[in-house]
Amino acid sequence: MIWIIPNIGWSKSGGLSIGVSVVVGIPGGLSAQAGSGYSFGSNDVYGYVGATTCMNTVYASYSLNSGGSVGYTSGLSPFSGLPISTNFGTVVVNYNISLNSWSGNVSAWQIDQRGWTFNPSVSVMLFPEQTTNFIRRGKFINNDAILKTFTDAGDYQGALDYFGFKGTYDPGNKIFNGGSEPGAVDPKTGDIYYNSTAFNGGFDKLYFVADHEGRHSADVRSGKYDNLTLTKQIMAGEEFNTWAYNYRRQGLYREHGFDIGSRLNSYGTVAGIDPDIIFSYSYYQPWWHVIHRIPRRW
Amino acid sequence: MVRFIFTIIFAQIICLCAESQVSNIDNGMLLEASFNVDTIFMEDSLKLHLLFKNTSNTVLDLYPEGIIGLVHNHKEFITYDTPQRITYKLHDFSNTKKVVSLNPGDEYQYDFDILANSNFFYEGENTVLVYYHFFDEPNKRKCKKREPKLSLWSTPINIIIRKQ
C-alpha cells in the first residue's frame, strides 16, 4: 500500500512548515517512507528517508541549514495514523553528522549542548485521501467519490483491487442465497466473497466489511478451526470476537452505518457469552470507549 | 505510585485466577425442537415446541426460562444485512426462580408463539436451530468472565415461508 501524505506543522523553535511524505506499507506499523518539506520559521529545506516497525523508526535526514543527521524515534510520530499528531508522545535520539553533535527529546522537552528546552510541535495531515487518489487516478477526490466512479461503471472488483481489499465480488454466489448480506467467508478455505450491498454505503461501509471478512479469513487460515467441528456456538463466538475487533477499530471507518452494539448483543447471546460482558458493548459502555472512535487513517 | 502499580498488578492476577475457574457445561440434558407446521405464509404466527429430556442417570434441575432463541443454520461466516437476522430471541434472561426437577428419563415441554416475520426469516426454506443458555446468578465481579451453567442446542429444523 502506498500513501502520499501532505502535512502542515508547527514547532516552537522552527515555526510553520509544510511537507509531503510518501509511505509504503502500513505507516507506523511496518513501513518505509521518504519525504521533504520547507520550514518558514527557519527558512530551511529538508528531506528524509526512514523505516518503521511498531512505532519505532530509524531515519536519515538532511537540511540545508543543519546538514545530515541520523536518528531513532519511538512513539506517536506523524506516522501513527492520527490526523493530528504532536511530539508529546515521542522519544527521539539524533546525531548530526555535519556538526558532530548529539541531541534528542523526551516528549516536548528537547536536549542538546545548550541543555533542556521546551519545544512542542504539532503536525496535521492535509487531504491524504485526495492526494493519494490524485497521484494514482489523476483525480483530487476522496475515497467515497473514487468508489462511486468504480460502482457507476459496474467495476466492483476493480474497486476492491484499487483499495487493496482481499476477496472476490460474487453476488451470485450460493452463499448469499439471493439475500442482501454484504459479505461472507468460507469457513474451510477462508475465501472472501462480497455482495453488491457492500458497496452501497460509501467507502467506510466497504472498508468495514472488508476488515470484518478479512479478520474471519485470517482466523480460518491461521488453522485455529482445523480439526474442530465448527458448531453454531463456536461460529457465533467467532462473530462476537470479530465484531468486537471492529468495535475497537471504528476510528478507521466512522461512517460504516452498522449497529455494532446490537450485533455484539445478538452474537454474544447466541454464543452463550456472559451477558454482563455483552451489555458493556451496547448498554453500559464505559466512558473511555470513546477512544475507539477517534479518527485515524490506519 | 509504587503502591498504586502493585495494586493494579494484584488486581490483574485476581482477574486471571478468576477467569480460569470455568464451570462445566452439563451434557445430561437433551433439547428437541419442532414447529407445528411445515409451511406458513410470511407474517403469520406459528408455534415452536421445545422438549427438554434428562438423559443422565441422576436427578437434574432444569431452569426452563433460560436465554432461548432461534438461529439460522448457515455454514459460512455471513455478515447479515440487519442485526435482526442474526437471532430470533424468544427469552432473553435466565430466571433462577423457576426450576423443575427432572428424574432420569423425565421430560419437560412447552411452546412459544412466534411470528414468521421477514426481519429474521427468509422467503423460501429456512433451516434453523434453537439454543438455550442458562446463567445461574448475576455477575457481581465484573472482571470474572462466566460460562453458562448449561448450554443446549437442538438439531436443525426446517420451515418453509411463503410470500403473502
- What would the pLDDT profile of A21-69 be if each residue is shown by its tens digit? 888 887 777 888 888 999 988 889 999 998 888 888 888 999 998 899 9
* Chain A contact set for B146 (CB, 8 A): 274, 276
Domain residue limits at A269: 143-293
Nearest to B145 among A184, A213, A277 (CB): A277
Q: Could you read off the pLDDT of A207-217 as tens digits, one per residue?
A: 999 999 999 99
Domain presence at residue A83: yes
Asked if A161 and A189 sit in the same domain, the reply is yes
How far from A298 is each of A25, A89, B83, B146, CA to CA, in Å?
11, 18, 27, 34
Domain presence at residue A135: no
Return the pLDDT at A294: 86
pLDDT at position A244 over 80: yes
A142 half-sphere exposure, CB direction, 13 A CA radius:
6
Q: Could you read off the pLDDT of A194-241 as tens digits, one per residue?
A: 999 999 999 999 999 999 999 999 999 999 999 888 999 999 999 999
ipTM value, please give it.
0.83
Asked if A75 and A176 sit in the same domain, the reply is no
As beta bridge partners, residue B50 has: B33, B110
Return the pLDDT at B17: 35
Return the pLDDT at B27: 67
Distance (Å) from the alpha carbon of B36 to chain A's nearest alpha carbon: 23
Domain presence at residue A283: yes
* Chain B contact set for A234 (CB, 8 A): none
pLDDT at position A284 over 80: no
Distance (Å) from the alpha carbon of A81 to chain B's nearest alpha carbon: 27
Asked if A119 and A22 sit in the same domain, the reply is yes
Query: Do the chains contact at B77 and A213, CB–CB below 8 Å?
Result: yes
Interface with B, mutate which of A165, A173, A177, A181 (most B CBs under 10 A): A181
Tell me the mean pLDDT in the region A144-151.
96
Return the pLDDT at B5: 45
- Cα A124 to Cα B2: distance, rounded to the nearest angstrom: 37
| Chain A CB within 8 Å of residue B153 CB | yes
Nearest to B83 among A175, A177, A259 (CB): A259
B29 half-sphere exposure, CB direction, 13 A CA radius:
29
Domain presence at residue A134: no
Closest Cα partner for A36 from A49, A55, A26, A52?
A: A49
* Chain A contact set for B78 (CB, 8 A): 175-176, 181, 183-184
pLDDT at position A266 over 90: yes
Q: Which three cell numbers stand for residue A63?
A: 537540511
Q: Which three cell numbers stand for residue B99?
A: 426450576
Q: Could you read off the pLDDT of B85-119 as tens digits, one per residue?
A: 999 999 988 888 899 999 999 999 999 999 999 99
A37 half-sphere exposure, CB direction, 13 A CA radius:
25
Query: Do the chains contact at B71 and A212, CB–CB below 8 Å?
Result: no
Q: Which residue of A has its CA nearest to B86?
A: A266
Which is higher by pLDDT, B130 or A80?
Answer: B130
Return the pLDDT at A124: 85
Distance (Å) from the alpha carbon of A40 to chain B's nearest alpha carbon: 43
Query: Do the chains contact at A181 and B142, CB–CB below 8 Å?
Result: no
Return the pLDDT at B24: 36
Asked if A84 and A171 sit in the same domain, the reply is no
Return the pLDDT at A154: 96
pLDDT at position A83 over 50: yes
Asked if A248 and A171 sit in the same domain, the reply is yes
Asked if A101 and A180 sit in the same domain, the reply is no
Which is higher by pLDDT, A111 or A177?
Answer: A111
Return the pLDDT at A250: 94
Closest Cα partner for A106 from A95, A119, A96, A97?
A: A119
Query: Do the chains contact at A266 and B87, CB–CB below 8 Å?
Result: yes
Asked if A225 and A272 sit in the same domain, the reply is yes
| Chain A CB within 8 Å of residue B129 CB | yes
How far from A190 is each of A99, A170, A216, B7, B122, CA to CA, in Å?
55, 15, 7, 43, 25
Total domains present in chain A: 2
Fold annotation for B24-162: Immunoglobulin-like (2.60.40)
Interface with B, mutate which of A276, A278, A281, A285 (most B CBs under 10 A): A276
Query: Do the chains contact at A270 and B131, CB–CB below 8 Å?
Result: yes
pLDDT at position A13 over 90: no
Residue ranges of chain B with per-residue pLDDT less than 70: 1-27, 138-144
Return the pLDDT at A78: 67
Which is higher by pLDDT, B83 or A283?
Answer: B83
Asked if A14 and A98 sit in the same domain, the reply is yes
Among B residues 69-108, those touching chain A with beta carbons less than 8 Å apart: 69, 71, 73, 75-81, 83, 85-87, 89, 92-93
Asked if A114 and A175 sit in the same domain, the reply is no
Contact B158, B38 (CB under 8 A): yes
Distance (Å) from the alpha carbon of B102 to chain A's nearest alpha carbon: 23
Percentage of residues in chain A with pLDDT exceeding 70? 98
Distance (Å) from the alpha carbon of B43 to chain A's nearest alpha carbon: 18
* Chain B contact set for A186 (CB, 8 A): 76
Domain presence at residue A136: no
Query: Do the chains contact at A185 and B142, CB–CB below 8 Å?
Result: no
Domain presence at residue A98: yes
Query: Do the chains contact at A231 and B122, CB–CB below 8 Å?
Result: no
Query: Do the chains contact at B78 and A175, CB–CB below 8 Å?
Result: yes
Contact B53, B88 (CB under 8 A): no
SS3 content of chain B, % helix, strand, coil (to 5): 15, 40, 45
Q: Which three cell numbers stand for residue A97?
A: 553528522
Return the pLDDT at B125: 93
Query: Residue A57 carries which DSSP code?
Result: E
* pTM across the whole model: 0.81
Asked if A119 and A250 sit in the same domain, the reply is no
* Chain A contact set for B134 (CB, 8 A): none
Lowest mean pLDDT among A190-199, A254-263, A285-294, B110-119: A285-294
What residues does each domain of chain B span? 24-162
Cα dihedral A24/A28/A34/A39 (nearest 10): 140
